[in-house]
Structure 1
């Protein structure tokens, strides 16, 4: 049994010692790298004693050197490199880059064919006892450079109009006995002001990746171009070319001012190392040329005609023309054309009255829609009369058409059918056209009256008459509307209480009136009050009647009649002349009914009689009980 314990003890002792033994780790080989490009081999030491910053020495065993070692570079001895590497170490082409105290990388900037062989990473001991692994090695194979890249057409640097399509081609190929992959990237270099630079600050060159096909043949847009790629405005495709080369085509559907810059194509050769990681082993960049984008804003102009001010008769056709100039002929762009109007006949100032509203628009696909005034859809048109010319026609002008008109054009450069979320490239307005319409001489007079009759009581029918006359030439109609204000509370003069000293009521205009009913110019009646039974009709050519049936206390108030004159244009259409008048207010007061007047005395009388009867009965009963009590007391 004792013979078994001794070997077991020695084994456990060795395991515990090796748990803290030095170990040097390099990536598994063989590593294939391309001549003329960079070699980077990491080396990590662990389980060591001593300082955290360890030294490293790299040695090379060439295939044709018969196993002899060649000193490459050392972190502690500047004289360590052998003759083949001394000059390369001095100029930095061969160096050791330290990632941390115990992790470094051997970097050979431009690999040569005779750099092929087995590389050993040795770490001089800093341990109290020499135990563990102090070096590691990896085999590096140098393969020839077969990466080729070219283009068929370069950018000339001539200005390209905004919205034009841009197509860039790049051809590339590799021939290798090893399994390698190829990736292609299109990018742009441009000047941008350095962040935070003030006066005297220069410009820094920015490199932006536009789109690429990665080593796994996936298409990857650049971060700044992802939205345009998702919208289908940037594409990249691979085609088979001649001579074993593949052709890559990048298209920008509509260039923007920000696309100005120097364009290049970059081809990268990749290989998968034994540790399953992808490594970049060769790369070439080819400049395609410079692109300058000429902005549409520099040439676009939008004009409207007739210019300045136009005055014409109501009912005559109104024609306004919008002309768009300066669009590049080689670019097909979508146009959104809108006619906007500010001011109306009801405005004191034609040019500034109200907000600007849309009259009509023609979308990029030619569909015409009208603004809030939908009646114009049958009384007008918006047409494209020529390339870049759009005409707004109102077949019969109305007083409400008075105002300042502007043509607003939104350009979608290079996009004939943009989505609703696509912003316009540029929006420009024309100068304003002031439209004045001559109206007929129209005079409106109106008076309201309450016909004589019995006193109005709750439940009676209120009858009001409105007499409205229009003086004008040609056919005319009146539109009548009844308004009601509450009866103001009486105001007494200070220090006096007689009825003669009661002040006059406040004018009705201080309170917003309630619309009661209206009789439109075409004979249609509109009732606005839902709580009462109301009717409105026309008694004669000038007389209009309002009746409130079964009136309630809420129906009393101050009533006024509002009249508007409507005229007929030469085409038979009716329009509001804008001439209006309002009558003086008529006060309607509802008195109490006879039954209401008798109800209070009756209630008071019955109550008084009951009270007196109760008092008499109580008094008699009290006296009787008192007399009866006295008789019993004598007995």
Structure 2
């Protein structure tokens, strides 16, 4: 069983004769399996505790016989009183406490708290200076024999409470905007002859999800007794501490007090609540364990954080609809109100446009948090314009010469990075809000256009020859106009039964002749060229055509016109021709490659025909000659 032997047991065993010694040893071994030695333990002293704060003394008993639940009794031996016992409290006798403790025991200020059957602790809720002395924990015997130790004692020193905590200001309770910075300062000090440390914690009795103040307590950040900063585990405090949004710093203050400054650089709505600062005094007990011996809390007031969504508004000026002539300037202004703290909150402002007939919304331009402007799609980038920050909360978009491609519904989208003047590119915005749309329309000229593809008549097209296609375009409009022509090809599908594909089947773009005469070739196969050979005739040539050039061809025409400033722009008027088929015949050299068997068969057949014809003609001539001789 490994039971420990108690002192004084079987002390005369070594003086007996050998036989008796042998018998005694056997009896001792058998008896030692049954003997248990009671032992009572308390923390190692002396223990220094602060007047006015709790004392907790755990007492443990082991090696006992009898029931698992043991009784405990505490006595106090005051300094200078010799062996005079003062009964403090007992687990089995309600009349046990002596007069100095009777009232305190009845009120619960002095009590026993049982941790288990063999462990209980003496708790004095508020220590008094005269509670100092030597405390004894005694366990009444339940053993068959009186062996071991039945009590233990520890000296408790009660020192004066010198922990002080103050604050620099109290929160007013007035609502503040989301993203605002909060700074709170506490001063704490301890004057003690013993070596003690101080820890400071800032916390909040936070608001519930419904927005009302609740009783849930959350630690925001702490500076522990070893000067280590630790963020609170509730909510998002750990991440915000890692991101540098929550800090705690210790500074030297006046009068020997240390200042503890907490900063929350970006307040969020969930930070609403009642704030407090807590200072604790710690001492290292002889057992090597740190114990908190004093604690004091200072209320710092209530804080209400107003969500950014409740105050932020984004609008565009002018409102409703803007109607312009082509070439006129376009100016729109995005107004942002309610973001506040312009020098502390970065903004991402985007201008978005959706076409007059709907479709996908595209980004026209954006101004990032760093003030850099970038343009969206190719149409926006090439249209000529600017985006500027006119003042805090005012962002303009200008087009120097508006064209039909600029028509559509414009919106301003604003993303606010509350409390972060320089957010990381990957940082999410606190809030994004979009304005109502303003419709921009342009009164364009009446334009009509038609296009026809022509395959000029000529000898049969053969592989390797040049294929020429003409696109005849007719435009009706007022003022100057130019045409941009695209050539498209749809290759033949061997499985397609129709002679020509349906009109909604689009081909791939081969080449483009822009309105200003620039040619763009997209084909990676045959050698191509496009040009304009007359006012309304555009030509596509395919040199050394191959079998892959067979298929259906069509042209598309788009009309461009000139604005009052001399700039050219697309009217948006387009048309496409019907498809024409290009088929390539085999060359003469290819036709001469006749298989040998076919050639031989053909030669024999021709020879027989010739011989038969010659024989027939010769016999007829001979017959005529014979008839003439007879006459």
The yes-or-no answer on 1:341 pairing with 2:353 is: yes
1:327 to partner: Cα distance: 4.0
CA distance in 2 between counterparts of 1:378 and 1:16 reads 103
Q: 1:65 to 1:378 in 2, by over 3 A?
A: farther
1:535 aligns with 2:529: yes
The CA deviation at 1:573 is 3.2
Which residue pairs with 2:615 in the alignment? none
1:561/1:102 Cα in 2 relative to 1: closer, same or farther (>3 Å)?
same
Cα distance in structure 1, aligned partners of 2:209 and 2:399: 52
Contact 1:146 1:176 in 2 (8 A): yes
Aligned to 1:613: none
TM-score, structure 1 normalization: 0.86
Q: In structure 1, what is the equivalent of residue 266 of structure 2? A: 254
Q: CA deviation at 1:517?
A: 2.3
Give the superposition deviation at 1:432. 0.8
1:207 aligns with 2:217: yes
Aligned partners of 1:76, 1:531: CA distance in 2, in Å?
A: 105
Cα contact 2:207–2:271 (8 A) shared by 1: no
Q: 1:281 aligned to 286, 293, 303, which one? A: 293
Match in the other structure for 1:411 = 416
2:457 to 437, 449, 452: 452
In structure 1, distance between residues paired with 2:380 and 2:409 = 20
Aligned-partner SS, 1:21: coil
**Larger CA deviation: 517-526 vs 270-279:** 517-526
| Cross-structure match for 1:499 | none
SS in 2 for 1:89: helix
Counterpart of 2:107 (choices 53, 71, 91) is: 91
- The CA RMSD over aligned residues, in Å, is 2.9
Can you list the C-alpha shifts for 1:205-232, whole angstroms capped at 9, x where unaligned?
Answer: 1111111111111111112312222222
- Deviation of 1:549 after TM superposition, in Å, equals 2.1
1:492-511 aligned at under 5 Å gives the runs 505-509=499-503, 511=505
User: In structure 1, what is the equivalent of residue 611 of structure 2?
Assistant: none
Q: Choose which of 317, 320, 339 in structure 2 pairs with 1:308.
A: 320
> What SS does structure 2 have at the residue aligned with 1:596?
helix
Q: Assess, with a 3 A threshold, how the Cα gap between structure 1 residues 531 and 69 changes in structure 2: closer, same or farther.
A: same
Would the aligned equivalents of 2:206 and 2:272 in 1 still touch at CA under 8 Å?
A: yes
Match of 2:485 in 1: 480
Deviation at 1:597, TM superposition (A): 3.1
**Partner residue in 2 for 1:130:** 146
Q: Does the 8 Å contact 1:485/1:508 carry over to 2?
A: no
Whether 1:108 and 2:124 are equivalent positions in the alignment is yes
- Is residue 385 of structure 2 the alignment partner of residue 391 of structure 1? no
After superposition, the Cα gap between the structure-2 partners of 1:327 and 1:190, relative to the gap in structure 1 and judged at 3 Å, is same
Distance 1:511 1:445, change over 3 A: closer
The match for 2:547 among 544, 553, 558 is 553
Q: Does 2:380 correspond to 1:370?
A: no
Q: Does 2:241 correspond to 1:229?
A: yes
Deviation at 1:323, TM superposition (A): 1.4
How many residues align? The count is 585
Quote the residue 1:172 is aligned against.
Answer: 188
Match of 1:39 among 39, 52, 55: 55
CA distance in 2: counterparts of 1:426 and 1:257, whole angstroms: 13
Instruction: Name the residue aligned to 2:46.
Output: 30
CA distance in 2, matches of 1:577, 1:415: 45
Determine whether 1:515 maps to 2:509.
yes
CA contact (8 A) 1:161 1:331 kept: no
Corresponding residue of 2:575: 581
* Distance verdict in 2 for CA 1:431–1:82, change over 3 Å: same
Give distance in 2, aligned partners of 1:4 and 1:399.
Answer: 126
Where 1:554 maps in the other structure, the secondary structure is helix
* Correspondence for 1:625: none
Q: For residues 46 and 594 of structure 1, what CA distance do their matches in structure 2 show?
A: 117
Q: Distance in 1 between matches of 2:379 and 2:367?
A: 15
User: Is the contact made by 1:264 and 1:287 (CA closer than 8 Å) also made in structure 2?
Assistant: yes
Q: Unmatched 5+ residue regions in structure 1?
A: 195-201, 493-503, 611-635
SS at 1:604's partner residue? Answer: helix
Unaligned residue ranges in structure 2 (runs of 5+): 1-13, 605-631
Cα distance between partner residues in 1 of 2:309 and 2:119:
57
354-363 or 529-538, larger mean C-alpha shift: 529-538
SS of aligned partner of 1:226: helix
Instruction: Give the Cα separation in 2 of the matches to 1:471 and 1:416.
Output: 56
**Which moved further from structure 2: 4-13 or 125-134?**
4-13
Determine if the alignment matches structure 1 residue 442 to structure 2 residue 442: no
Question: What TM-score do you get using the length of structure 2 for normalisation?
Answer: 0.86
Kindly state the Cα deviation for residue 602 of structure 1 after the two structures are TM-superposed. 4.2
Cα 1:151–1:32 change in 2 (3 A) is same
Q: Matches of 2:484 and 2:170 in 1, distance apart? A: 74
Q: Distance in 1 between matches of 2:346 and 2:452?
A: 58
Contact 1:151/1:288 (<8 A) preserved: yes
Q: 1:264 to 1:524 in 2, by over 3 A?
A: same
TM-superposed CA distance for 1:374, in Å, is 7.1
Does 2:199 match 1:183? yes
Q: Secondary structure at the match of 1:157?
A: coil
Deviation track 1:11-40 (CA, whole Å, cap 9, x = no partner) reads 985995698422212111111100110001
CA contact 1:488–1:505 (8 Å) conserved in 2: no
